[in-house]
Amino acid sequence: MFPPNTLYIIGESKTSSNNAIMQQYNGFFIAFVVEKDSGKIIDAECSSTIGLTSAFIQSIFVGQSLLESDFLLNEIETRYFGSSQKAIMVAYRNALIKYNQIKMK
């Protein structure tokens, strides 16, 4: 399904304890499939209790480069107004750190 030059990376974070995502998953996660060399995001999915949330997050990330942090963080900040906004930003940054560590190997 995904070509050999792709990586699967999960970014993790926490959100408020009263958030349904925390109650169901005990954390917030975004999974990314990215091209190893370019960082282009091929697919993305997040832990969510509403399918539309994951689809919306996917629409923000897919087709972009994981390395475009200013652009992606701005997209989250100006387009996503759910209670997990900060958790999404932290999970994305966590995934970016993991990607950069992989690239350094």
Residues of the chain with pLDDT under 50: none
What is the rounded average pLDDT for all residues in the chain?
90
Residue range 25-41, pLDDT digits in tens: 567 899 999 999 999 99
Are 46 and 79 a contacting pair, CB within 8 Å?
no
The CATH code of domain 6-104 reads 3.90.1010.10
